[in-house]
Structures are given as C-alpha cells and as structure tokens.
Amino acid sequence: MRNPFIAALLLATAAPALSQAVPPQVSGLRDAALKDDYAWDIVEGLTTEVGQRMAGTEAEARARDWAVRKLTAMGFSNVRIEPFDMPVWTRGREAAEILGPFPQKMVVTALGNSASTPGEGITGEVVGFNSEAEFEAAPAETVRGKIVFVSHAMPRTQDGSSYGYFGAPRRQGPSVASRKGAIAIIVRSIGTDYHRNPHAGVQRFEDGVKPIPAGALSIPDAEQLQRILKRGKPVTMRLTLVSQVTQGKSGNVIAEVPGRDSKAPILLVGGHLDSWDLGTGAIDDASGVAITTAAAKRIMDAGKPLRTIRVVWFGAEEVGLFGGFDYQKKHGSEPHYAIAESDFGADRIWKVDSKLGKDREAEGKALQLALSPLGIVPGSLDKADGSDIEPLLNAGMPGVGLSQDGTHYFDLHHTPDDTLDKIDPEALRQNVAAYTAMLATLSGGIEPEPKRGKRR
C-alpha cells in the first residue's frame, strides 16, 4: 500500500527549507520525542530493579517478567514471552597471578564458554604474541603445555568497525590455542579504555576442539604482562577461571502496536534484554530496548498506524544470538516491512543506512530527510545491520540501520563500567526522536484516536 508520507516527502524535496520537506505529523512526532521520558524510565527501571541479566539465568528470567509488566502497563498489545532452551554458562571464582620473575596479581575475567580450571587454578609458563596473526603462525611446539597470551590493541572508531578485526584473539584465539596444545589462553581485553576492568565476551570453541580455560586481562594488566615478557625471563602464571555449564531457558519478550491493516507487513524494532554479568547492562543493551520501545509508545500515543509495530526484547544475544535465531525460526516466514535494532549504546545517532530494496530507495531517501534535522547524515541505501536481526537481514528482509556514535562505546562494552550513569539523557532522547521519525515515516500514516490517558 502506498505510503502518503513518502509521497509528501518526495514531492517536497525541491523546497528550499528542509522543514517544508517533512510531513507535519512526522516532524511533530520527531520533535516532541526530544522531550521523551519513556526511554529513561525503562532503562533506569530495568538496570535498578533487575540489574545484570546473564542469558539463561534466574536474573534474565526476572528481567523477562519485569518486561512483561512494563510493556503491559505502557499499553502495548499482545505482550508475551516466547521461550526457548539453551546451554547456560556461568562464571565462578577468577584470579590471575604472576608467580615469577616479578610476582604480582592481575585482573582477569573468563570469556563466555571458557572451560573451568580446578578450584585451585592451574599454573604454567606464559608465552606471548603481539597479534592473532603472529599467534596463528607460531609452531605448535612453542605453545604446547603453556598458557598463551595474545595482545592485539583495538583503536577507536566512530562506527565500531575495528571490533571485527581486532576481536579475533577473543573469538578464535581459544580454539587455535587448544589445537596447538595450550593449557589455557588469556587475551588483551577487546576494548579502548584504560580502566583496570577486563572486558567479557563470548567465544565458541570450534567443533571437535577441546575447551580450555580462556580469559581476558584488563588493558593495563595486558600491557604490564607485555613489559614483563620483554624482560626475557621465563614468566609463570597461576590462573583461576572457574565456571560451569548447565541447561536452561531464555526467551524473547514481544509486544505490539496493532495496525489498521492486520494483513500489512509489520515493522519490527527492538534490542536485546540480556547482558553480561559484570555491570548492569545499561548501554548494552537496556538503552536499546528503551529507545525502540519509547519510539513505538510515542507512535501509539499519537494514534493507530497502518502497519503493526512489533517491539522485540531479544533474549540471549550476548552468548550466541539465540533470541534472534529463535525469532527467525518462529516468525521468519511472516512479511516484515522493515526491521531495525538498537544495540550500540546510547550516544547520539549520526548516520542512517537502509536496505529496503531497489524499488523502495525513495523511502530510504525520505527517511534521510526526516532524520536530517537531528544531525543525522545520509548513509548507504543498500545495507543495514543489527545483531539479533542479522539472521533476518541475511535472509533478505528489508532493514534500517541507525548508527550511534561508537567512539567511546568500547570503553564500557562488557565491563563493570556498563552502568546507568554512563547514559546521557539528552543523547538518549535524540535516539528516541530518530526511531520515532523512522517509525512514523514507514508506518503508513497514523490516524488519531479518541484521546485516552497515557499509561506508564
């Protein structure tokens, strides 16, 4: 069905003033969202009343129940939990200590799916490498029976693109170390801060590879270990990374703003509910579910959109995109008009990408116009991204990507510093305004309903 807002945007592209190019309903909702308090209410409540939400644990279950109560109280429809089974990895005692030649303690955390050491830890000689490539090229005999240390410093980037390449020691390093016969591996945390906080994160051992203990040192400790190794003397470490694996459940929490046309393809927005267990998961990703839910709520307050808006709080993203794959399995055959996810913190959105298809590029350009007053620059018309929605995007579904500024994201990512005080309320509101404008632009038009009291 033709979207009247898209037509209005395109007809007005020749107007000298940008304000004349955006339909009043879209610009009005966008600008009103700059005073939003729904998102802060959600992120403050979730991080305060639940806290950390490790996938598959009792804490994540409490978060799902909290989400159902919150979404219901806000007035959403069809609120439900869609559960799924999963393996649950949880950490126990963690410690790292150099025994010689220069005895000292270090700060370490286990990587997701790490094998457990005995309670008293393991002791071994440390062999160091300056990059994943250097490590992979090393003969197995230089590693066998030792604790491997891999450093691979990640630079800051606005778009977070360095995370892919420089995250290699965490993602594939443990499997390489096991194949070469190492008894354990520690890596420099995949981050950009210099706090003495290690960065957690998932890694998965390749099929047929024996799991070994795998951990991340804080960046100051990793650089300290490099200096110790450069002294040229044998370095001995006692490493304790206790963990266990059980079977458990996670689930996706789903809520909707019903559209006027029940047969029209839906708009999906969301983020992930789970977090790592070191902080309270404020930027990763309580802010994401808060931003997208607040935007959907603002559309609901304005009236009834043509297309149903579905809000998904995905479960178990951090440990393997379990929620995204479960959603694809259960809903991948349903028509989706566009999908979008907020999962890169809460700093200001600076760019919009879209991948709606060649025949819908005009909608992508209309979206660029609607977002421009928020300081958001046009990006690509043939790409979109998002962790939980990646399986759907790979299957060919149309998507939108609203890119937050990630310059400082990896200072906090997967660390104890991921807490509420790191969120700037004004930047959070700019995010809500952007998602509100996106939903208003793609919703097919919103028909006002008789006024009702706003439920919180």
Q: First-to-last CA distance in the chain?
A: 33
Counting residues of the chain whose pLDDT is more than 70, the rounded percentage is 94
Q: How far apart are CA 144 and CA 67, in angstroms?
A: 48
pLDDT for the residue 21: 84
Would you place residue 453 in the very low, low, confident or very high pLDDT band (cuts 50, 70, 90)?
low
pLDDT, average across residues 357-374: 96
pLDDT of residue 14: 37
Instruction: Write down the pLDDT at residue 19.
Output: 43
Per-residue pLDDT band for 3 (boundaries 50, 70, 90) equals: low
Which pTM value belongs to this model?
Answer: 0.93
Mean pLDDT of 333-345: 98
Stretch 22-33: mean pLDDT, rounded?
A: 96
Q: Report the alpha-carbon distance of residue 27 to residue 18 in Å, rounded.
A: 10
Mean pLDDT of the chain: 94
Q: Is 113 left (phi over 0), alpha (psi -120 to 50) or beta?
A: left
Query: Mind spelling out the 3-state secondary structure of the chain?
Result: CCCHHHHHHHHCCCCCCHHHCCCHHHHHHHHHHHHCCHHHHHHHHHHHHCCCCCCCCHHHHHHHHHHHHHHHHCCCEEEEEEEEEEEEEEEEEEEEEEEECCCEEECEEECECCCCCCCCCEEEEEEEECCHHHHHHCCHHHCCCCEEEECCCCCCCCCCCHHHHHCHHHHCHHHHHHHCCCCEEEEECCCCCCCCCCCCCECCCCCCCCCCCEEEECHHHHHHHHHHHHCCCCCEEEEEEEEEEEEEEEEEEEEEECCCCCCCCEEEEEEECCCCCCCCCHHHHHHHHHHHHHHHHHHHHHCEECCCEEEEEECCCCCCCHHHHHHHHHHCCCCEEEEEECCCCCCCEEEEEEECCHHHHHHHHHHHHHHHHHCCEECCCCCCCCCCCHHHHHCCCCEEEEEECCCCHHHHCCCCCCCHHHCCHHHHHHHHHHHHHHHHHHCCCEECCCCCCCCC
Q: Decide if pLDDT at 5 tops 70.
A: no
Q: Per residue in 41-95, pLDDT tens? A: 999 999 999 999 999 999 999 999 999 999 999 999 999 999 999 999 999 999 9
Whether the pLDDT of residue 456 is over 70: the answer is no
Confidence band of 452 (pLDDT split at 50, 70, 90): low
pLDDT interval class at 449 (50, 70, 90): confident
Set out the domains of the chain in order of their start, with CATH numbers: 4-87+247-447 (3.40.630.10), 102-234 (3.50.30.30)
Check residue 15 and give its pLDDT.
Answer: 36
Omega prior to 285 cis, within 30 of 0 = yes
CA 182/CA 200 separation, integer angstroms: 21
Tell me how far apart the alpha carbons of residues 169 and 267 are, in angstroms, rounded to a whole number. 37
pLDDT of residue 4: 47
Residue 165 has what pLDDT? 93
pLDDT digits (tens, 9 = 90+) for 217-264: 999 999 999 999 999 999 999 999 999 999 999 999 999 999 999 999
Q: 10 pLDDT band (50/70/90 cuts)?
A: very low
